[in-house]
Homo-oligomer: A and B are copies of this chain.
């Protein structure tokens, strides 16, 4: 390791650090589990530097773990076997925007808010919005999605190509700026969601979308969660193109009201948005309202003004701190699962009952157009038994999703938090993931301890 660090320092100078405060920062995460700190943190500036550091690390058998904004929820970016954390803070540029092709080329460290600020005057935007101001490299690696995925898709759908540094330092390019291709294995799709276990992403070609001419947002209160979910199913089947459709349970609404001073009705709520021409969104909103009323919705409140819409989405994006504040001193275990939409009401109802029986507060909210929902489990950090209870609740929520034909995570990813559940979801296919990992990273240097069977 010391020999590797000496070579890395020769490559990066003071952009290679072993300062304890920096190491400690990279040992923290939004997940429930701590981890050992990396041995060093690198701040490369170019793909060539990443390739050179990977070559050095490979020669010295030093693990490499990428780092974006540190917002992942299952410990993805924690260097659980030590080694070098590669922080993309200094690779956060927009390389190119090709407006005619609706494509942006960016470095991995740029955050989605910074990218969209950059795009504001182009008439285009990047739609994937996981809530946190995550980095694009991290979002790609986690296959992030969020509120707008029901309309615009996830990172899987919005990454057209990548530059990747492989474990030995080789640089490859996948995909292109063409909208589609049938030329070979979908390597772009393989690296998206690989959580850095197959290589380090150093550049992304992203699909952009036109900023909608008109936007219509509404909140809509339902007598019960099941009615809200049934309304979503009916709306999807009618083909009304929703841009976002979010579910908040009563506890989430109460927490948001308390945190923001809003006065939303204390009942299961849908927060829905339509994008399009003025006439189209007006029609969509009216048709949705008619469907919602058929499911007993009351208090459909439209937010036509931009500032009212911004206030609603700020409320939604602040649901996490709002819920956290609802139990002073608590820390949150955030977990997600995703099911076929026909099973969503059952999955939410069973999860709610399970949480209620546990004695831990755990509001539920989610991207219901995708069958994806979250529980935010609030535990007293001084009580290890509550952490144990919360982890067991999260595990049962994932197992319930599998039983209902879904997946253990819709958008948070595996990290090491959900590694023990991979066999249950994938069976023999998990072994195939291990074969791919060994083929591309035979020395197991890229984010080791994650994603694949640990044999």
Cβ of A405 < 8 Å from any Cβ of B? yes
Q: Which segment of A30-38, A255-263, A336-344 sits at the interface?
A: A336-344
* Nearest-CB residue, chain B, relative to A177: B340
Cβ of A324 < 8 Å from any Cβ of B? no
Minimal beta-carbon separation of A427 from chain B (angstroms)? 7
Cβ of A213 < 8 Å from any Cβ of B? yes
Minimal beta-carbon separation of A404 from chain B (angstroms)? 9
Which residues of A in the span 191-235 have a Cβ within 8 Å of any Cβ on B?
192-194, 198, 209-210, 212-213, 233
* Nearest-CB residue, chain B, relative to A156: B186
Minimal beta-carbon separation of A59 from chain B (angstroms)? 19
Cβ of A406 < 8 Å from any Cβ of B? yes
**Cβ of A408: which chain B residues have Cβ within 8 Å of it?**
183
* Nearest-CB residue, chain B, relative to A197: B185
Do A184 and B430 contact each other (CB < 8 Å), given the known contacts A101-B342, A103-B340, A436-B439?
yes
Cβ of A438 < 8 Å from any Cβ of B? yes
Alpha-carbon distance between A248 and B439 when the two chains are bound, in angstroms:
45
**Cβ of A340: which chain B residues have Cβ within 8 Å of it?**
98, 100-101, 103, 176-179
Contact between B184 and A422 (Cβ–Cβ < 8 Å)? yes
Say which residue of B184, B279, B283, B451 sits within 8 Å of A185 (CB atoms): B451
Say which residue of B144, B173, B194, B414 sits within 8 Å of A429 (CB atoms): B173
Which residues of A in the span 411-455 have a Cβ within 8 Å of any Cβ on B?
411-414, 418, 422, 425-430, 432-433, 435-436, 438-440, 451
Do A171 and B428 contact each other (CB < 8 Å), given the known contacts A180-B145, A185-B190, A283-B279?
yes
24 A-B contacts, Cβ less than 8 Å apart?
A100-B341, A144-B182, A149-B180, A154-B182, A172-B432, A173-B426, A178-B339, A178-B340, A178-B370, A179-B341, A181-B407, A181-B409, A183-B407, A183-B409, A185-B190, A185-B451, A186-B186, A186-B189, A186-B193, A209-B239, A239-B276, A276-B280, A280-B280, A280-B283
Say which residue of B182, B405, B411, B422 sits within 8 Å of A143 (CB atoms): B182
Cβ of A236 < 8 Å from any Cβ of B? yes
Minimal beta-carbon separation of A247 from chain B (angstroms)? 15
Contact between A170 and B370 (Cβ–Cβ < 8 Å)? no
Cβ of A2 < 8 Å from any Cβ of B? no
Alpha-carbon distance between A192 and B188 when the two chains are bound, in angstroms:
13
